[in-house]
Amino acid sequence: MRGEAGTVKRVAVIGAGTIGASWAAFFLSRGLEVVASDPSPGAPDLIRRMVEEAWPILARLGGRPDADPAAWRFEADPAAAVAGADFVQESAPERLPIKQELLSRIDAVLPADVVISSSTSGLLASRLSETCRHPERVLIGHPFNPPHLIPLVEVVGGAKGSPEAVAAAMAFYRSIGKHPIEIRKEVPGHLANRLQAALWREAVHLVAEGVASVADVDAAISEGPGLRWALMGPHTTFHLAGGEGGMEHFLHHLLPALESWWMDLGDPKVNAAVQQMLVEGVAEGTGGATPAELARRRDAALVRLLEARRSSG
């Protein structure tokens, strides 16, 4: 399977909306050639704008000095776009029939040693590959928004997926500076979205029960544990909370408290009244800035955080 450093020179980006265009900019910055495909006539313009905007940032965040922002072209037909590709990243709309049709068309014309990786957040590889001739090389490589900035890629194969394809995808993502993680069993939501869902469930419960405002619940993360989670995950965080004895000491002394909190966590019903609390609370907390403006600020701040992490080693 192609994936090890040096075996992938050209990536086909199939589906070039926000996610696909962001992937395209990232791949280009790592010195790869890109061929993109999308049914929308606006897609080439979106890629052009994304590459232009992201290029200075990507150069600072580990881009290759010899990378060429113009090393891409557009092919409306996905089967034509994948010709000669060494890796395929699919980011079509999140609807099973659309993705199945697209993946089986691509699968039919691609050599069997090329991985087809889907950006899907909500669908499982076993379903996506059902109509493929080579389901063993169809897997999920799920990025986080925005994909050109967030290092995480969740990699998981389907029931008929091959370990070699997963290993090749892991090697490929690692070789271009992503942080791939291997999910060993298909589960709904993969990993990070399940963890986000678990956190948000309690966040909604606390708002719904009137324990605190939306803004204060948000600050309970962004001014507290969120700062630590940008550096280490929940297990390592608790390892440090155990002091010299680490996780062992933590489990011995603090697990009973954690378990008592687990017992008390909420299971909110997100009815119309709760939805209104959330919508109004967010509007109040963000001072009426548009989501687009907030996203611009977040991405600018993300770049600084990532640079700060790089210089911390």
- Residue 307 interacts with its own copies (CB under 8 A)? yes
Query: How many residues sit in the footprint of its own copies (CB under 8 A)?
Result: 109
- Residue 40 interacts with its own copies (CB under 8 A)? no
Binding residue (CB under 8 A) for its own copies from 44, 81, 227, 273? 227
- Residue 235 interacts with its own copies (CB under 8 A)? yes
Residues 159-218 that bind its own copies (CB under 8 A): 179, 181-185, 187-189, 191-203, 206-207, 209-214, 216-218
- Residue 284 interacts with its own copies (CB under 8 A)? no
CB of 106 to its own copies, least distance (A): 25
Give the binding range for its own copies (CB under 8 A) out of 37-45, 68-76, 101-109, 281-289: 281-289
CB of 94 to its own copies, least distance (A): 9
Taking the least distance from each CB to its own copies, the nearer of 111 and 163 is 163
Residues 111-150 that bind its own copies (CB under 8 A): 122, 144-145, 150
- Residue 306 interacts with its own copies (CB under 8 A)? yes
Beta carbons within 10 angstroms of residue 308's beta carbon: 11
- Residue 286 interacts with its own copies (CB under 8 A)? yes
For residue 66, CA distances in Å to 21, 63, 69, 71, 151 come to: 20, 9, 10, 11, 21
- Residue 108 interacts with its own copies (CB under 8 A)? no
CB of 205 to its own copies, least distance (A): 9
- Residue 39 interacts with its own copies (CB under 8 A)? no
